[in-house]
Amino acid sequence: MTQNRIENIRNNYDRIADDYAHKLFDELDHKPFDCELLKRFAASVKDCGAVCDIGCGPGQVARFLRDAGGEVFGLDLSPRMIAQARRLNPEIEFREGNMLALDLEDASLAGITAFYAIVNVPADSLPLAFSEMYRVLHPGGLLLLSFHIGDDVIRPEELWGNRITMKFYTLQPQRIERLLANAGFTIEDIVERDPYAPEIEYQSRRAYIFARKSGASA
């Protein structure tokens, strides 16, 4: 992905960060299925080391994992989104960062959550994103990835009244499973669900993949 495209994504999320935080910070209160998956993830990595919530937005997933007893920090491309996350979760560390070039040491994480973090990443950059995630996980480390299911590229003109100029990619689970396996991951589970009500979320089918780095348990 070119630097211009990365800058465009950063600028768009900076533009919508305040409204994004206002609309979505409490979203997990209305998503019991997602909470159950996050509890499962948290139990798997508990006491194993640090967890990074990649594409953390205003920090709702990081907050959930911390409340579940996890050692977690968040990472996002958008400085303004990081500012919202720090404001809403002053007890959690948040950092600016790019998932295509993670400023993290090899084998430094017990787990990664990436809830919709890849929705703006074009297909030709997904192998790099997954190889970076694999690199920074401990042997035996766990990734929980979620995304919208489909074959479409969505180009909304605005979100919450803010003009935007970025693409959103829907993806097929079988393709993501194959790319993760190519990066070295072992797929432990793939779960799908229909959307919650329109007032809760965008109406797309969702996929969640639990994938583990090869090697001894963290």
Query: What average pLDDT score do residues 89-102 get?
Result: 97
Residue 128, Cβ neighbours under 10 Å: how many? Answer: 15
- pLDDT confidence band for 218 (50 / 70 / 90): very low
What is the per-residue pLDDT for 6? 95
Per-residue three-class SS string for the chain? CCHHHHHHHHHHHHHHHHHHHHHHCCHHHHCHHHHHHHHHHHHHHCCCCCEEEECCCCCHHHHHHHHCCCCEEEEECCHHHHHHHHHHCCCCEEEECCCCCCCCCCCCEEEEEEECCCCCCCHHHHHHHHHHHHHHEEEEEEEEEEEEECCCEECCCEECCEECCCCEECECHHHHHHHHHHHCEEEEEEEEECCCCCCCCCCCCEEEEEEEECCCCC
**pLDDT band at residue 215 using 50, 70 and 90 as cut-offs:** confident
Tokens 């689970």 locate to 173
Mean per-residue pLDDT for 14-36? 97
Q: The tokens 């209160």 sit on which residue? A: 29
Average pLDDT over residues 6-28: 96
Both tokens of 60, joined, read 């709702």
Q: What is the pLDDT of residue 2?
A: 87
Predicted pLDDT of residue 214: 87
Q: What fold does the segment set 3-213 form as a domain?
A: Rossmann fold (3.40.50)
Residues in the chain: 218
Find, among 33, 42, 80, the residue nearest to 63 by Cα: 42
Domain residue spans in the chain?
3-213
What backbone phi and psi angles, to 5 degrees, belong to 139? -55, 130
pLDDT, one tens digit per residue, over 98-127 is 999 999 999 999 999 999 999 999 999 999
Question: pLDDT averaged over the chain?
Answer: 96
Q: For 3-7, 64-68, 129-133, which range has the lowest pLDDT when averaged over its residues?
A: 3-7
Helix 126-136 to helix 173-183 angle (10° resolution) is 50
State both tokens at 193: 């669900």
Percent of the chain topping pLDDT 90: 96
pLDDT at residue 82 is higher than 60: yes
- For residue 216, what pLDDT is reported? 62
Which pLDDT score, from 0 to 100, does residue 148 have? Answer: 98
**42 touches 68 (CB < 8 A):** yes
Kindly tell me if the per-residue pLDDT of 34 is higher than 70. Answer: yes
End-to-end alpha carbon distance in the chain: 31
